[in-house]
A = this chain, B = another copy of it.
Amino acid sequence: MNYPSGIKKDKTTITRRKIDYKNRGMNLENDINETNNYYIEKNIAFIYKKPTPIKLVKVDYKKGRIDEAYFEMPSTTDYNGIYNGKYIDFEAKETTNQKGFPITNIHKHQIQHIRNIYNSKGICFLIVRFTKYNETYLLLAKDFLEYIDNVGKSIIPREYFINKGFRIKDKYIKKVDYLEILNKMEDEK
């Protein structure tokens, strides 16, 4: 279940005393949103987080107020948009797991979506933050799918991200500057 940032923050507050790294990790979504806002302000890219899908049950139409609703499972990834005329699509997740990234963090529908976008020649990837190490990696859909199709469906070891992924270093303004990684890949082609 992919809750909006408000809820994540709450969880964070509760666990703050326990591990500061976890708290930092919980901010991945905010870091990416800040980065996207920077890209938008500078006319670099137009990539947005999709709102969390909601199932409406009770709505006061006059007041435009929702009195009862439930979070729904997202069928696509959280972020998509355009950069240099190219379609960009990614999912962002943080994990407190020290061994690796539990694949259960990505829903079945989202994996199919990642496959579809990859097959459609979109630029598709995961951004995963290992909160215990405060390391953030970009893993291309190609390498993500290669792992789950050929190796295993339970957990992707941190080593796989170190070897196949691209480390995204913390920055002051562009907190999660993933476009820099994509540019480097483009240059190396």
Contact = CB atoms under 8 A, between A and B. Distances in A.
Nearest to A85: B121
A67 B64 contact: no
Contacts of A75: 48
A152 interface: no
A122 B45 CA distance: 11
Contacts of A56: 4, 6-7
How many copies of this chain does one complex carry?
Answer: 2
A172 interface: no
Contacts of A95: none
Contacts of A19: none
Given A51-B53, A54-B54, A80-B81, 15 more contacts: A1-B64, A6-B59, A7-B59, A46-B120, A48-B75, A50-B50, A50-B51, A65-B69, A65-B70, A82-B89, A82-B117, A83-B120, A84-B121, A85-B120, A86-B87
Q: Considering the complex of A and B, which 9 residue pairs feature the smallest CB-CB distances, nearest first?
A: A85-B121, A87-B87, A66-B69, A51-B51, A82-B87, A51-B53, A82-B122, A82-B120, A46-B116
19 contacts: A7-B56, A10-B61, A43-B119, A46-B120, A48-B76, A51-B51, A51-B52, A65-B68, A65-B69, A65-B70, A66-B66, A66-B69, A69-B69, A80-B81, A82-B87, A82-B120, A82-B121, A85-B120, A87-B87
